[in-house]
A = this chain, B = another copy of it.
Amino acid sequence: MRNKNVLITGGLGFIGSNLARRLVKDGAKVTIVDSLIPEYGGNPHNLHDVKDQMEINITDVRDSISMDQFIPDQDFLFNLAGQTSHLDSMENPFTDLDINAKAQLSILEACRKHNPDIRIVFASTRQIYGKPQYLPVDEKHPWHPVDINGVNKMAGEWYHIVYNDVYGISASVLRLTNTYGPRMRIKDARQTFLGIWIRSLLEGKPIQVFGDGRQRRDYNHVDDVVDALLLAATRSEAKGKIFNLGAPDPLSLEDTAKLMCDQIEGANYEKIPFPEDRKAIDIGDFVCDYQAFQSTFGWKPKVNFREGISKSIEYFRKNLDYYI
């Protein structure tokens, strides 16, 4: 990526900021766009120590006139800006539509008009599959979004594939599972429940596990996701394709809570009944099949969950004030 011009939407967010840090280390010329909407993942602290090594713009991807300025001359676009909260998407479906679908279309239109040679990677979500009909869930699994966020992310990813197929604008889609690590949002559960669990741990409160805690989940450390994003951006086999990410060591929610409590002396968890609004969109066990991505690119998760969560807790312990 040395000397490449790279645009990251949502670059002050969790995954975007970790990617940006990697890219400047690799010698790329990084431009960040982030709206810093308080409910989303953007956080100036995520890049405070490296901000002089990149261009940071506080702009909303829905502002197509601004976005038009950033697209030309970029070699790569990591399209990570998004509304990620399932509950927010049900409460404000039009906001979710504007960010996760319409803004994506307007970014792609800008690429078509001003920079058709750009290489795009779009971050999508395993939420598109809905409640699994079988495990692990591969890319052929039927799609059945269970909330408005899933529908709009599905539209967002398919705009990318259509622009790839029809206009030849190279675009790839990664469907991410629960991603965790330093710089994630821990204020609440808007990114993943792991965020609010880390906050609870550090504030000495019990972790709240919904239901019986037996639902299994898979977790990717952000460093592994950054590796995957870079592979998707630079390997031609990824063009026009949609791939799952995932991890080899799924855990039940209760085992996840236990493992996290092991990290802190005296920490504990409690099981509570599913809140009504969560119940309607819960999907039971979910484990992603990432064999397609693994076999095509040789990618596999390097960071073991216990080690990754331990380092993440360490990060947030030192930086807690900036994240709550």
What residues make up the interface of A, taking CB atoms closer than 8 Å to B?
90, 93-94, 97, 101-102, 105-106, 109, 140, 142-148, 150-152, 154-155, 158-159, 161-162, 165-166, 280-281
Contact = CB atoms under 8 A, between A and B. Distances in A.
A158 B154 CA distance: 10
A145 B158 contact: yes
14 contacts: A90-B166, A93-B159, A97-B101, A97-B105, A102-B102, A140-B142, A145-B161, A145-B162, A146-B162, A146-B165, A148-B162, A152-B155, A165-B280, A166-B281
A128 to B, nearest CB: 10
Nearest to A149: B162
Nearest to A96: B105
Nearest to A147: B162
Nearest to A159: B151
A102 B109 contact: no
Contacts of A166: 90, 146-147, 280-281
A105, A144, A162 pick with most chain B CB within 10 angstroms:
A162
A151 B147 contact: no
Contact of A94 (B94, B105, B154): B105
A144 to B, nearest CB: 8
A94 B161 CA distance: 17
A151 B143 contact: no
B90 A105 contact: no
A161 B154 CA distance: 14
Contact of A143 (B94, B143, B152): B143
A64 B142 CA distance: 32
Contact of A148 (B97, B146, B159): B159
Contacts of A159: 93, 148, 151
Contacts of A154: 154-155, 158
Given A154-B154, A155-B154, A281-B166, A105 B148 contact: yes
A109, A140, A148 pick with most chain B CB within 10 angstroms:
A148
A140 B144 CA distance: 12
Contact of A109 (B93, B147, B161): B93
A97 B102 contact: yes
Contact of A102 (B90, B94, B150): B94
A106 to B, nearest CB: 8
B151 A162 contact: yes
A143 B145 CA distance: 14
A109 B91 CA distance: 10
A140 B141 CA distance: 9
A233 to B, nearest CB: 22
A143, A147, A151, A161 pick with most chain B CB within 10 angstroms:
A151
Contacts of A97: 101-102, 105
